[in-house]
Each structure stands twice: as C-alpha cells, then as structure tokens.
A and B are shown apart, each in its own frame.
Chain A
Amino acid sequence: MNMSVDLDQTPRSLLVCDWSSFLDDKNRVSSQVEQLHFNYKVSVLLPECSSAPAHLDSVLNSFSSFYLIRNLPIHELLDKQFLETAVYQGSVYGLSYRTRIDEDNCVALMPNGRLSLSLDKDSYQLLGVEGKPSRFSNRTNSRYVISIDLTDNSMAPGGRGYLRLLTGLMSRLHLTTDFLLSHHPGGGASLQPLLSRYDWSEHRPELHSHALTHLSCPELQSCDPHSFLEWLGAVDADISCENSSISFLSSLVCPEPKTTLSRVLRVSICGLLLPQDVHRLIQEIRCYLEQPQLESWLSLTVHGFVDSPVSWGGREHGVLRGGENFYTLLMFHDHTYHLHLATGAHDTCPP
C-alpha cells in the first residue's frame, strides 16, 4: 500500500554526452549514426548563413524516397521473393505507420534482417511465437516483444521457424497495418514485387528551411548539455528567448555568456530517413566547415520515430511520456564534436 506522497519525484531520463574529434580513431560517430535505424526528422542549424550552400542543398535533396503501403498483411514480409530480392540483398527499413507503441501492435524490419514485433498480450498469445515481456509494461506483462532474425538458417523459407511464424501470421493473428518501407541501396526497384501487389505510394522527404535573424546564442564550447539542448529546442520550436526574469508568461532566457548571431538558417527534413543519407550529410557538413568563414560551428539533430519498437541497434524502445530518442551533433571547425544522445524513461543506454 505504497500511497507515496512524494510529488517531487522526477521521471527517469537519460542523456549521454560524448566529446571527441573526428580525427580520433576511436570516435564512434558513424556507428552511432548507423545504429539509429528509423529517423523521422533531421534538422540542421547553420549560423551566419542565409541560404543553404549548394553542396548541402544537393545532399538534402538527394535523400532517398520511401514508400507507404496501405493495409499490408505482415506475413507478406516473409514472402520468399521479398526476402530474396530485398532482405538478403542490402538493407530494408520497414516500420508500421500510425501505430502507437503504447496501444497498438507495432512492427519494425531492421536493415540487419531482424523483424521486431511489439504485441499486446492477446495478439502475442494468439501468434504463439516465443518472445520476451516488454520492459515498458511493468509487472502486468501486458506487452511482449518478439525479435526474429530473418537471415538465420531456421528462418529460411521452408524452415521450421519460418513455417511456424508464417502460419501464425496467416491463420491465427491477421496482423495488418500501414507500413513505411525503404531500401538501401536498391530503392524502389528492390521493393517493386511487394509494392505492386498492394495500394502503395511513393514519398519524398519534406524539406523546410527557415531563416532567423538576430538570435542570441550561448557560448557553445562551455555550455552545459541541458542548457544547450534547451536553447536548441527553443530555436527549433520558434520560442523566443528574449524574456526578462519578471515576465509573467515565460522566464526562458538564453544561457550566459551569450553572443548575438545576425542570421541563422534552420533546415529540416522529415520522413523515413535512412542513416546512410544522414551519414552522407554529416560528411558534407564537415567539408563545408573546413572553409574559412565567420562562425565555425554547425549543429545537426536527428529525431527517431517515437513509436519505433527499437531505438539504437536492437534496443527496445517505448513511449510512456515522450518517446524521445534523438541525438544532436555539434561540430566545430577543428574537427572536434559534441554528441548528445538522449532516450526516454525505460530505454537502455545509447551506444
């Protein structure tokens, strides 16, 4: 009967900060970028810049398209032809669309060929494939996670595990959902056999850019991580930091010491974005930073899908309050960087 009266308790949160240099052999930026499979939004902040440089613009415009399939029966992902043309050849990124991980059944197909199903208890028992209780369902075990390696021998078409899952999905649990799909490097061509059988549409990642003027900006090298992320969030959400401490509505201010930037460009891109594209963007930004110019930093933020069953690698992810899984890469002129990785309440520590 723990009727706790501790109203001051704070929910759990986790922030990992890495300070390193791209020139250091031990830097793990590329693996950290590649392990976050399902990216929803990338936003870049360019100081002292009024329009995106041509190189960056071309990279942003060349982000891969992704496909939305309506009412896809999940057993189609086990289709022999699909496995051979897409899963075994390269990386497939698939994620159920408009399913909420705290209410619905969610499915993710990861580039390493792992299929991750996050199911409620009824569906889990109906399917009859072994899984683990979710970390997010507390003691009640109302949610289970099944993770299957489709490249494993037992999952080869005709194998025992394969047949068991296939009959489960075909005859017992008719799991149908809208599905986002993308393929690297094949693109739409590799997915065509699957797409052609269903109602599908192709989507380009949406690009937005916004120019800001006279923005106060903290001293980035010394700013503490939480204040920096707060400031960056305020810039992203168009929240003014010009408040006085006595104002009634808000007392949010830019952390001291601060400088003023005359103009800043904020570019964001939304959709199902591939880590490979994000990686390409980072390389291009590094080249851009090498040019001599006024401001010598640039920040890049990547948000993962809140309803994805996995965050970094195969680590289980959930929503609870915010569902955050994002990272911010702050790059400097001298190849050093600050990387902040954040996850939500019960997620495991990012890599």
Chain B
Amino acid sequence: MRRADKDDKPTVYQRVVLKNASPHHYMKIHLVLQDASTRLSAVELKQFIITGLKSLYGEVGAALNFDLLKYDEDTLTALLRVYSRGLVKLWSSLTLLGSYQNQACAFRVLQVSPFLLSLTGNSRDLQLD
C-alpha cells in the first residue's frame, strides 16, 4: 500500500507517497426531517445512527466504532469520523435510514473525505450574493 522514494540525502530532502493509508474517513451529513421543527440532540442523533446500523448489519454492525465529531442542532448537520474499513457500512446504513419516530427522514451525505481538513474548505459553500 505504500511507496516511498527517497533522495540520496534523506535528511535534506525526503518525499513519501502514502496511498490509501488514511486510517479514518470523515463524512459531513445533513439530516432532513419531514417535520422541520423536530429537535434532535447529539446523543439522540448518534443513537439513531446506531439503530440504523443495527437494523442493516445486526449486532455486529451496531458495534461499529464511529465518532460524532461535531453537530449543529439548528441545521442538523454533523461531522462523523469512522475507520476506513467501516465507511461502506456506515454510509449504506445512513442511506437506508428512512424514518425517525414515525416521520419520514433522509440523510444527505454532503462530503466524504479521508482528510478532516478538506471538509473545512469546501468551495461549494462559496456565496457571492
């Protein structure tokens, strides 16, 4: 997975290329609820995602480790961190989560990246009006 090419004088110039080496992936998600006035706390959101994982991937899926790094209650937008190996499971269970407390809901996955840093500089947020 890794390729490294080093110069003659490694102390002076060194170049390393890391391929697929990122241990985590980060997701920026937005929850859309049928009733926009519903409030969700961070703990409720994480619990909700875990129930989604449990229904799609069972008890093994519910044990998947992921972190809720940041959550904005007003916009229902959250940043998640998950081990790269669990990304597909987490993403697919988010996609299939269709109802929260008997009201229709959907998760919009806004951005997924192996670098947390790239989630802070998304040019799609540029507003010039």
Binding site for B on A (CB under 8 A): 7-21, 24, 26-27, 40-41, 43, 68, 97, 100, 201, 203, 225-226, 229-230, 232-234, 236-239, 248-252, 270-271, 301, 303-307, 321-324, 326, 328, 342, 344, 349
A270 touches B126 (CB 8 A): yes
A19 touches B13 (CB 8 A): yes
- The 7 lowest CB-CB distance pairs between A and B, nearest first, are A233-B116, A303-B121, A322-B113, A324-B118, A233-B117, A40-B123, A13-B114
A248 touches B13 (CB 8 A): no
Taken together as a complex, chains A and B put the C-alpha atoms of A203 and B13 apart, in Å, by 40
Taken together as a complex, chains A and B put the C-alpha atoms of A17 and B14 apart, in Å, by 8
Taken together as a complex, chains A and B put the C-alpha atoms of A100 and B126 apart, in Å, by 13
Closest B residue, CB atoms, query A251? B67
Question: Do A249 and B13 contact each other (CB < 8 Å), given the known contacts A15-B22, A237-B79?
Answer: no
Question: Do A234 and B116 contact each other (CB < 8 Å), given the known contacts A13-B20, A249-B43, A321-B111?
Answer: yes
**Please, what's the 1-or-0 string for B39-64, where 1 marks a CB less than 8 Å from any CB in chain A?**
00011001000000000000000000
Question: Do A322 and B118 contact each other (CB < 8 Å), given the known contacts A17-B15, A18-B15?
Answer: yes
Question: Do A43 and B43 contact each other (CB < 8 Å), given the known contacts A233-B115, A233-B116, A324-B113?
Answer: no
Residues of A within 8 A of B85 (CB): 8, 10
Query: Is B36's CB within 8 Å of the partner chain A?
Result: no
**Please, what's the 1-or-0 string for B69-83, where 1 marks a CB less than 8 Å from any CB in chain A?**
110000000010100
Binding site for A on B (CB under 8 A): 7, 12-26, 42-43, 46, 65, 67-70, 79, 81, 84-89, 92, 111-124, 126, 128
Question: Do A230 and B24 contact each other (CB < 8 Å), given the known contacts A13-B114, A322-B112, A344-B113?
Answer: yes
Q: Within the complex, what minimum Cβ distance (angstroms) separates B129 from chain A? A: 9
A-B residue pairs in contact (CB < 8 Å), sample of 20: A8-B88, A11-B112, A12-B20, A13-B21, A13-B115, A15-B114, A16-B17, A20-B13, A21-B12, A97-B126, A97-B128, A237-B70, A249-B42, A249-B46, A250-B67, A250-B81, A252-B67, A306-B124, A322-B118, A326-B118
Contact of B120 among A18, A27, A237, A251 (CB under 8 A): A237
Contact of A20 among B14, B21, B84, B117 (CB under 8 A): B14
A229 touches B113 (CB 8 A): no
B14 touches A18 (CB 8 A): yes
Closest B residue, CB atoms, query A336? B12
Question: Do A16 and B121 contact each other (CB < 8 Å), given the known contacts A248-B43, A251-B67?
Answer: no
Q: What total of A-B pairs shows CB separation below 8 Å?
A: 172
A238 touches B70 (CB 8 A): yes
Taken together as a complex, chains A and B put the C-alpha atoms of A238 and B72 apart, in Å, by 12
Closest A residue, CB atoms, query B50? A248
Question: Do A305 and B70 contact each other (CB < 8 Å), given the known contacts A233-B117, A324-B113, A349-B17?
Answer: no
B122 touches A248 (CB 8 A): no
B89 touches A13 (CB 8 A): no
Residues of A within 8 A of B112 (CB): 11, 321-322
Q: A201-B128, A252-B69 are in contact. List 18 more A-B contacts (CB 8 A).
A: A9-B88, A10-B20, A10-B25, A15-B21, A15-B115, A16-B18, A17-B17, A26-B12, A40-B121, A41-B123, A203-B128, A232-B116, A233-B115, A250-B68, A252-B81, A303-B122, A323-B122, A344-B113
Interface centre among A100, A229, A238, A250 (most CB of B within 10 A): A250
Taken together as a complex, chains A and B put the C-alpha atoms of A311 and B112 apart, in Å, by 18
A17 touches B18 (CB 8 A): yes
Residues of B within 8 A of A303 (CB): 117-118, 120-123
Q: Within the complex, what minimum Cβ distance (angstroms) separates B111 from chain A? A: 5
B121 touches A226 (CB 8 A): no
Closest B residue, CB atoms, query A249? B68
Question: Do A305 and B17 contact each other (CB < 8 Å), given the known contacts A10-B87, A230-B116, A344-B113?
Answer: no
A322 touches B126 (CB 8 A): no
Q: Within the complex, what minimum Cβ distance (angstroms) separates B63 from chain A? A: 14
Taken together as a complex, chains A and B put the C-alpha atoms of A41 and B123 apart, in Å, by 8
Contact of B14 among A19, A236, A323 (CB under 8 A): A19
Q: Within the complex, what minimum Cβ distance (angstroms) separates A341 from chain B? A: 10
Q: Within the complex, what minimum Cβ distance (angstroms) separates B121 from chain A? A: 3
Taken together as a complex, chains A and B put the C-alpha atoms of A150 and B102 apart, in Å, by 58
Taken together as a complex, chains A and B put the C-alpha atoms of A12 and B19 apart, in Å, by 7
